[in-house]
């Protein structure tokens, strides 16, 4: 499995973890197009916090590295790397390079 695909799998694990707390209607889709922040996002602020923390923990478990998504990202910015699951995967990929 390539690096990007591994990151995708890790992000989907984080999605699974957050979905355990959400109602079915609130579930985050496991798709790279899923919008995480901004006006079109379905996640509320708590779900986003939970997702970011879960993503960081899963990255540490899987890749053995500590990344800090919350520190670097202004979540409301339109060019935020956390805009969608896909942009987040790309951003994490650059952190690993």
Partner 1 sequence: MGEHKYRSLLISDFNADNLAGYIRNDNHFPAMDALAAPFGQVVSVLMQQNLECWRTNPDLAVVWTQPETIVESFLQVLAYGDFSMDAIFDEVDRYSSLLAGIHERVKLVLVPTWLCPAQCRGLGMLDMRTGMGIANTLMRMNLRLVENLEKISNLFVLDSQRWMNIAGKDAFNPKLWYMGKIPFGNQVFKEATMDIKAAFRGIIGDTRKLIILDLDDTLWGGIVGDIGWKNLRLGGHDHIGESYADFQRVLKSLTNRGILLGIVSKNEETIALEAIKSHPEMVLRLDDFAGWKINWNDKAQNVVDLVSDLNLGLQSVVFIDDNPVERARVREALPEVLVPELPVNKMLYSSALLSLHCFDTPSISREDLERAAMYVAERGRKESQRQVGSPDEWLRSLGTVAKAEGLNEVNLQRTVQLLNKTNQMNLRTRRMSASELLKWAAEGNHRLWTFRVSDKFGDSGLTGIVSLEVNDKIGTIEDFVLSCRVMLRKLEETMLHVVVDYAQSIGLKEIRAEYLPTPKNRPCVSFLENSGFKCKGGNIFSWKVNKSYAMPPHVELENDSRG
Where does this chain bind partner 1 (CB under 8 A)?
17, 20-23, 46, 49-50, 52-54, 56-57, 70
Beta bridge partners of 84: 35
**Minimum distance of partner 1 from residue 47's CB (angstroms):** 9
Q: 50 or 84: whose CB is closer to partner 1?
A: 50
**Minimum distance of partner 1 from residue 50's CB (angstroms):** 7
Q: 8 or 47: whose CB is closer to partner 1?
A: 47
Q: 22 or 32: whose CB is closer to partner 1?
A: 22
Count of CB atoms situated within 10 Å of the CB of 14: 22
């Amino acid at each position: 499995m390539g690096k990007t695909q591994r990151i995708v799998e890790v992000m989907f694990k984080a999605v699974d973890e957050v979905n355990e707390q959400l109602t079915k209607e609130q579930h985050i889709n496991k798709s790279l197009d899923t919008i995480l922040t901004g006006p079109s996002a379905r996640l509320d602020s708590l779900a986003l916090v939970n997702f970011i923390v879960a993503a960081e923990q899963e990255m540490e478990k899987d890749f053995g590295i500590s990344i800090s998504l919350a520190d670097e990202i202004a979540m409301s910015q339109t060019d935020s790397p956390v805009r969608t699951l896909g942009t987040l995967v790309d951003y994490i990929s650059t952190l690993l390079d």
